[in-house]
Amino acid sequence: MLAQANKENIQKAAEYLKAGELVAFPTETVYGLGAVAFDEKAVKRIFEVKGRPFFDPLIVHISKFEELSSVADWQSDALIHERVLKVRSLWPGPLTLILPRRPVVPDIVTAKLSTVAVRIPSHTVAQQLLLAVGKPVAAPSANPFSYVSPTTARHVDDLIGNKISMVLDGGPTEFGIESTILSLTGETPEILRPGIVTKEELERLLGKVNLRAPSKDAHKDPLAPGMLEMHYAPRTPLIFSEDYRKASSPQHVGYIAFSAKNEFDNTFSPISILSKTGDLNEVAHKLFAAIREQDQLGLDLIVIDSCPKTGIGLAIMDRLGKAVRKTTSH
Ligand code: TXA
Ligand code: MG
């Protein structure tokens, strides 16, 4: 059920969560599908609703920094302790930290890893909901497994609305791309998933930060879960504009442009322009919705722009790299 994210419905959603039910809610990145993190049975249902394999662990959402110790052991190791304090200023916000886990966090949440993923979302609805629940909430993106993350409540409702107790509608999400996942447990801090918080920004706070390369065998590698190659694939084949060859192309081809270029080939229809000026923050904000929209038109092919892999461009190209077909036959 779609419900306006007002005070009353947020309270209702909190009651559902406390009763072991599932609720989808907005965060500043994408919509999440939540269950109380300590409620194993409820968390199991998240996996069922999403069709998500159990080896892919979930992010635990907390409302404030003081709650971190309830799920993560971040103070025992001096180096980890120091690193957490260095990036603390980025919370609440689109940053997920991988930290040593506390045993109270159920195995099903962490896929039996010794670490736990934690984030403090900044979205006011997410904040109010977490406060009302009073417990950490495990929440992956509220999409069926291996499909693009939802950036509106309507997307969630269309995909899984009938399987959960409530979809809190807080409007379109601000950033449109998932949080940056940063592991602080290794020798050098490592980005497992590039996101809204950029590598450059993290390096200013932490010094050297590594970027984990996507692994084709992620499902065999418990240290790199969720980095599956086709994780963000739409149903319609998607290719980068530089790989598009008009001569051998099918009839119905859509185009997703990052900026308003002077000229578009008139064979493309529709053409979605994500940002007039090519502002990559705007591109990220609209990216998943545009892919989803064109994916529903029964097109033969979607052609999409690319951008330099710096700043937020790294996160955009990470998602697109997983979504495009690995062929250049079109
Ligand atoms: O922006 C976001 O992060 C959104 C909102 C709802 O918070 N959530 C989200 O969750 O994108 P999800 O489940 O779609 O992606 C979480 C990723 C997965 O790729 C998972 O493998 C990884 O986090 N992850 C979770 N726990 C981990 C751990 N202990 N070690 C390594 N990766 C982990
Ligand atoms: Mg996801």
Tokens of 160: 């899984």
Q: Determine whether 246 is exposed, middle or buried from the number of CB atoms within 10 Å of its CB (0-12, 13-18, 19+).
A: exposed
Question: Which segments of the chain have a pLDDT < 70?
Answer: 214-232, 326-330
What whole-number distance in Å separates Cα of residue 316 and Cα of residue 307?
8
Rounded to the nearest angstrom, the distance between the alpha carbon of 306 and the centre of ligand 1 is 24
Q: 98: Cβ below 6 Å to ligand 1?
A: yes
Q: Provide the sign of the torsion angle of the four alpha carbons 252, 257, 260, 262, taken in this order.
A: negative
Using alpha carbons, select from 212, 80, 68 the residue that is nearest to residue 136: 68
What whole-number distance in Å separates Cα of residue 259 and Cα of residue 257?
6
Secondary element (H or E) of residue 78: helix 78-87
Rounded to the nearest angstrom, the distance between the alpha carbon of 140 and the centre of ligand 1 is 6
Query: Which tens digit of pLDDT belongs to each residue from 184-216?
Result: 999 999 999 999 999 999 999 999 999 998 665
pLDDT at 214: 66
In the numeric block, the tokens 């419905």 are attached to: 9
DSSP state of 17: H
What is the tally of helices (H) and strands (E) in the chain? Answer: 10, 15
Q: 116: Cβ below 6 Å to ligand 1?
A: yes
Indicate which ligand has the atom closest to the C-alpha of 147.
Answer: 2
pLDDT at 330: 42
Whether residue 195 contacts residue 211, with contact meaning beta carbons closer than 8 Å, is answered with no
- Tell whether omega for the bond before 140 is within 30 degrees of 0, i.e. cis: no
Query: Which tens digit of pLDDT belongs to each residue from 44-74?
Result: 999 999 999 999 999 999 999 999 999 999 9
3-state secondary structure of 315: helix
pLDDT at 322: 84
Indicate which atom in ligand 1 lies nearest the CA of residue 181.
23
pLDDT at 232: 65
Q: 119: Cβ below 6 Å to ligand 1?
A: yes
Indicate which ligand has the atom closest to the C-alpha of 225.
Answer: 1
Indicate which atom in ligand 1 lies nearest the CA of residue 94.
1
pLDDT at 323: 86
Atom 21 of ligand 1 has which residue's CA nearest to it? 226
Pick from 54, 99, 181, 228 the residue to mutate for probing ligand 1's pocket: most ligand atoms within 8 Å of its CB.
Answer: 181
